[in-house]
């Protein structure tokens, strides 16, 4: 059963190793609620739409984000260590374990020399762990989404999803709710590290701002308007 996340231990000094309407809306909302593969389904709609609007080519996840450690983190290392400690109460190793390999939803290359990561955030990306990681971002951190809105959405959730959404994910996240912690940590890496490597600020779009119009004829116009504000 889903429960509230546990309280975090006291911080140690050592945290580092050396909208559509009417029937169309109702149908779209019903589709979202009933789909067991919603994460993949929404991503499959959003990614090609954004790429087409921006005239971008989809390229592979950069090597520095697949298993980032101290070297890949650059000047963000201390921030990343503190996020990890406050999520888990553990010390972050300087080299990421092999099991922590990951990919992002999309990398958009418009040919201007600064690729941009696109992430489509489903409901599991919003919870107290994510609010914690977002609050650690240094002032002035450049991202292409409204951080305060993401924190607000994250703090609305009072109960975490259970099952596969919250299972332990050793070795870095071995405790209960480990998958939620891992997701919040990886999201922080995706926001902070691109600026260390010449990428444009990370673009996030959330399920809460896409539904129900993303499944209607208004999708392209509404997405263009959202991108005009965000980029």
Q: What's the pLDDT tens digit per position in 121-131? A: 999 999 999 99
Helix (H) and strand (E) counts for the chain? Answer: 10, 4
Is the model more confident about 120 or about 11? 120
Give the residue among 51, 181, 175 at the shortest CA–CA distance from 120: 51
Q: Which residues, 6 or more positions from 140, have their beta carbon under 8 angstroms from its beta carbon?
A: none
What is the token pair recorded at 199? 């990428």
Give the pLDDT score at 3: 52
| Highest-scoring range by mean pLDDT, 35-39, 107-111, 160-164 | 107-111
Which of these ranges, 16-30, 73-87, 155-169, has the smallest mean pLDDT? 16-30
Q: What's the pLDDT tens digit per position in 184-209? A: 999 999 999 999 999 999 999 999 99
Q: Express as a percent the part of the chain with pLDDT over 70.
A: 84
Q: Express as a percent the part of the chain with pLDDT over 90.
A: 76
> Rounded distance, CA 50 to CA 137, Å?
26
Q: How far, in Å, are 13, 57, 92 from residue 108 at the CA level?
A: 39, 6, 30
- Which alpha helices (DSSP H) does 11-76 contain, by range? 22-34, 38-54, 63-66, 70-73
Q: Is 217 exposed, middle or buried (CB count within 10 Å of its CB: 0-12, 13-18, 19+)?
A: exposed
Q: How confident is the model at residue 7 (pLDDT cuts 50, 70, 90)?
A: low
What is the token pair recorded at 13? 């000094």
The pTM of the full predicted model, rounded to 2 decimals, is 0.84
> Rounded distance, CA 218 to CA 221, Å?
6
Give the pLDDT score at 8: 53
Give the pLDDT score at 89: 97
């Amino acid at each position: 059963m889903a429960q509230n996340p546990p309280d975090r231990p006291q911080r140690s000094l050592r945290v580092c190793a050396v909208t559509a309407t009417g029937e169309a809306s109702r149908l779209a909302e019903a589709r979202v609620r009933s789909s067991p593969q919603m994460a993949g389904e929404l991503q499959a709609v959003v990614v090609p739409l954004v790429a087409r609007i921006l005239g971008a080519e989809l390229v592979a996840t950069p090597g520095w984000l697949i298993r980032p450690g101290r070297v890949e983190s650059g000047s963000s290392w201390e921030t990343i260590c503190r996020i990890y400690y406050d999520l888990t109460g553990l010390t972050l190793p300087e080299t990421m374990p092999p099991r922590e390999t990951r990919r992002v939803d999309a990398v958009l290359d418009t040919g201007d020399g600064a690729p941009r990561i696109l992430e489509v955030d489903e409901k599991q990306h919003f919870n107290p762990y994510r609010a914690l990681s977002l609050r650690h971002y240094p002032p002035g951190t450049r991202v292409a989404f409204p951080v305060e809105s993401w924190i607000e959405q994250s703090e609305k959730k009072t109960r975490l999803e259970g099952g596969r959404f919250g299972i332990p994910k050793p070795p870095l996240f071995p405790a209960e709710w480990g998958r939620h912690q891992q997701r919040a940590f990886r999201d922080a890496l995706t926001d902070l590290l691109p600026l260390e490597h010449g990428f444009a600020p990370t673009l996030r779009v959330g399920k809460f701002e896409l539904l129900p119009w993303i499944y209607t004829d208004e999708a392209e116009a509404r997405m263009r308007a959202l991108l005009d504000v965000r980029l």
